[in-house]
Amino acid sequence: MGLRERITADTKEAMKAKETARLSTLRLISAAIKDREIAARSEGGDDAGLSDADLTAILSKMVKQRQESAKAYEEGGRLELAEREQDEIKIIQSYLPRQLSEQETSAAIAKVIADLGAESIRDMGRVMAELRTRFAGQMDFGAVGPMVKDRLMA
């Protein structure tokens, strides 16, 4: 079962179980996916739909948005809203691949650098692009960038 089918099945299940918070979040996910599909069609893309990698990118973006919102709510003293954002993050993350540990991330970076034969900071773009391709949704690329830079400068 693909990611899209899993989200649709879980939406139906949440409706039957009357899980309002989960249902609301799943509907937000579905809406984001539909928006992306419409944008792809208007850009002249194919009608085949979005791949699981595209869906993972959408979900990762949604998690990042909610993390920023939760932080802003906490800073503003709106803890009930921050808690709701955290609940949505947990639901969205259940559809994302498992995040790599720090050791796994370090090993993945070393392997990609070796595979590409990257030797200097000039190769950082190629390394980051390859990491995004191989490990979409499994790494925090904001944290990975400095790690790659350190490796290439050493």
What are the chain's domains? 3-93 (1.10.1510.10), 102-153 (1.10.10.410)
pLDDT, mean of residues 26-47: 84
How many CB atoms neighbour CB 114 within 10 A? Answer: 9
CA–CA distance, 69 with 146 (Å, rounded to integer): 25
Contact 64, 90 (CB under 8 A): no
Contact 33, 95 (CB under 8 A): no
- Amino acid 143: pLDDT: 83
Q: Which of 129, 118, 115 is nearest to 152 (CA)?
A: 118
Asked whether residue 38 carries a pLDDT value surpassing 60, the answer given is: yes
The predicted-structure confidence for 12-26, as pLDDT tens digits, reads as follows 999 999 999 999 999
